[in-house]
Amino acid sequence: SILGGYGEYGTSIIVSPKNDVGDLPTKNHLDGTFDGAHSISAEQIHQLLGTVPSSCFSCPVRCGRKLRLNLNGEKVFEGMEYETIASLGSNCGNSDARSIAEMNYMCNDLGLDTISTGVVIAWAMECYERGLLTKEDTGIELRWGDTEAMKEIIRQIAFREGFGDLLAEGVKRASQRIGRGTEKYAMHVKGLEIPMQQPRTVKMFALGHATSNRGADHLYALPTICYPWFREVARKWLELSDKELEQLNDLSSWKQKAKAVVFSENLCAVADSLGLCKFPLVESYAVPLNTLAEGYDALVGSNVMVRDLLKAGERVVNLERMFNIREGFSRKDDSLPERFLVEPLPSGPSRGSVVELSNMLEEYYEFRGWNSTSGVPKEEKIRELGLEFLMGSNSERVSLF
């Protein structure tokens, strides 16, 4: 099982199965299958780098991993997470596992996020390949899978030197400053780089990335409840019929995904508020939600139910939404890069698929109790959640109601 694989290999265990279903972002999300996936799989990384298990105390998931890498002397550090492997690997056309480990160490040492770093490099590589960027712009040739070029760019980003000074701004600002049509290939939502899910294959993550109040973030919703192995969890908490569960478990279909994303966003907000890791909860449901409520009750001495916690999470999401509305955000910002909406996925089981975002957003806003035109929470929803104090704090730029 995937859960058992986490304990043995860490999150790298999902590289191969994600590639099999077309959910391994490849070459700036051009595709979802990578010819070099085997070379960056969990088994290969373990064989090459000798990973050993590491976990937090009493964790039922044990996703941690440590490995040794000879880099300016022997170093011991956390092993690579899936997101790092994909962002600095397949998404940059790189099948060299050792180089990914080295770049992971570089990013950690220099204080760079590996997802955003990989995405902005992949953007530059695609633009270079298309002739939208030249060596005159970059000072270095940027070819898919060129690990030495990637390492140099990472160094330049950290020290804000050369082309790295521009990339340090992130993919949204970098593409806006360059122009020349490069904005089309900038993979971000609300300015935050797209994580390592292929939205045309797993539609629930497509919606979750689009609606996230902090921009594309797989940990904002983490709607794993859509996977078939959580069918009974979904049956209980989403209250779906057998037919609706079949639609939910069809990951390439947009149907039933909105309800799942709303539920998952609320649950993730609970985890964030309580300072809990999402892996035993939303990622794996290894800890039943009733146990979460019992733990909270034991801690604070209140007779709280799971639904009460989820309502608190809903309040958090709506409060964040109102903050964004005040700052000028609206439905237009709940979007995805054009690639996912109009470019059919070129290969894999979901070949030909695009994201039917408008359909999912309509259902999402309905479940949220938000205006479907503006994306603003309706007055009755604000009152239901006890957030009336927000109704008198309209900014001059945005009329909330």
Mean pLDDT of 241-254: 96
Instruction: Tell me which of 10 and 351 has the higher pLDDT.
Output: 351
Separation of CA 32 from chain center: 15
pLDDT at residue 390, rounded to an integer? 85
Instruction: Tell me which of 5 and 271 has the higher pLDDT.
Output: 271
Contact criterion met (CB below 8 Å) for 19 and 37:
yes
* pLDDT tens per residue across span 278-337: 999 999 999 999 999 999 999 998 889 999 999 999 999 999 999 999 999 999 999 999
Indicate whether 52 pLDDT > 90: no
Burial class (CB in 10 A: 0-12, 13-18, 19+), 113: middle
pLDDT interval class at 4 (50, 70, 90):
low
Indicate whether 276 pLDDT > 50: yes
Give the whole-angstrom CA distance, residue 209 versus residue 281. 19
* pLDDT tens per residue across span 141-153: 999 999 999 999 9
Structure tokens at 19: 């590639």
**Which residues, in sequence order, are CB contacts of 34 under 8 Å at separation 6+?**
19, 24, 26, 89, 90, 95
Contact criterion met (CB below 8 Å) for 268 and 278:
yes
Give the whole-angstrom CA distance, residue 25 versus residue 285. 25
pLDDT interval class at 107 (50, 70, 90):
very high
Mean pLDDT of 189-194: 98
Indicate whether 224 pLDDT > 60: yes
**Please, what are the domains in the chain?**
2-193 (1.10.569.10), 203-392 (1.10.599.10)
Burial class (CB in 10 A: 0-12, 13-18, 19+), 300: exposed
Indicate whether 268 pLDDT > 80: yes
**Which residues, in sequence order, are CB contacts of 399 under 8 Å at separation 6+?**
none
